[in-house]
A = this chain, B = another copy of it.
Amino acid sequence: MDSGVCLLSLLVALSTLSHVLSEPILRLPSEKAISSDYCDSWRLAVETNNAGPWERVPANCVDFVAEYISGERYRRDCEVVGNLSLAFARSVRLVGDGRDAWVFDIDETLLSNVPYYEDIGFGFEIFNETSFDAWVNSAAAPALVPNLILYNELKELGFRIFLLTGRSEYQRNATEANLMLSGYRNWERLILRESYDKGKPAISYKSEKREELENEGYRIHGSSGDQWSDLWGYAVAARSFKLPNPMYYIP
C-alpha cells in the first residue's frame, strides 16, 4: 500500500467518524420526533382533562401511546401516584369505627387491560363492547402493581375498601375471579352497574354510589381512578388520585 492510498483510507475513515459525531447535532428533527413532541403535550392535555371528551387516540399518536404504555414511563407515573396516595393515606387520622373508606375504580386502576389494548392497537380503535366483554370473562387482567401495593397498605392502615366499577352486575363473577387471581383480597364491597344504571354517564353513576356510601356513614378519605369521571361530580373523596390513561376516555 503506498502512502497516498493509506492517507485516502485514513481520510475516509476520519470523515465517517466526523460524520457520525456531527450527525446528531446537525440532524433536523424528524417527523417522528415532531409528532412525538406533540403527542407528549396531547397526553398532558388528556391527563389534565383539557382535551375534554375524545373518542380515539389521534392517528399520529398511536405509536407514542404504545411506546408510553409499554415502557418505563407509564410504570413510573403509576408508581409515583401510588406513593403520593400512600403518603396521604398515612397522614389521615382514622376514626377506626369501620367507616374510614377508600374507593378504587377497577379497569386501568386495580387491573390492567394493557394486554387487551395491545391487541387492538392501543386506543386507535373505537371501543368494542363484544371483544372487551370476552376479555373481561377471561379474567386474565394482571394487577396494576403500584395499586396492588397501595391496596394492601391501605388495608394494613385500617381503611375499608370499596371497588366502584363501570362493569355490569352480570360481570361480577368474572371480575371477582380476576381480582382474586391477581392478588386482591378482602374488599368491603364490589359495586357494579345494575340494570337501572345502564346508560348513565360514569360521573353520575359513580357520584350516586359514593353518596350512598356517605349516607351509610362512610368517610371517603381517598379515591383512585384513571378517569376524571371516577373522581369528579359530587360526594367526592377528600383527596382524589388520577392514574394515567392515554388509551381511552370515559365521560
Contact = CB atoms under 8 A, between A and B. Distances in A.
Contacts of A51: 84
Contacts of A95: none
Interface in A66-95: 72-73, 76-77, 79-81, 84-85, 88
Interface in A44-79: 44-45, 47-52, 72-73, 76-77, 79
A16 interface: yes
B84 A50 contact: yes
Given A3-B1, A242-B50, A45 B84 contact: yes
A176 to B, nearest CB: 28
A237 B51 CA distance: 15
- Chain A at the B interface: SS class: helix
Interface in A17-48: 17, 20-21, 37-38, 40-42, 44-45, 47-48
A9 interface: yes
Contacts of A76: 37-38, 40-41
A167 B85 CA distance: 32
22 contacts: A3-B6, A6-B10, A10-B10, A10-B13, A13-B14, A20-B21, A40-B73, A40-B76, A41-B73, A41-B77, A41-B79, A41-B80, A44-B47, A44-B77, A45-B81, A45-B84, A48-B48, A49-B240, A49-B242, A50-B84, A50-B241, A52-B88
A166 interface: no
Contacts of A242: 48-50
A239 interface: yes
A52 B239 contact: yes
Contacts of A123: none
B42 A80 contact: yes
Nearest to A85: B50
Contacts of A13: 10, 13-14, 17
Nearest to A78: B41
A44 B10 contact: no
Contacts of A241: 50
Nearest to A4: B1
A76 B44 CA distance: 11
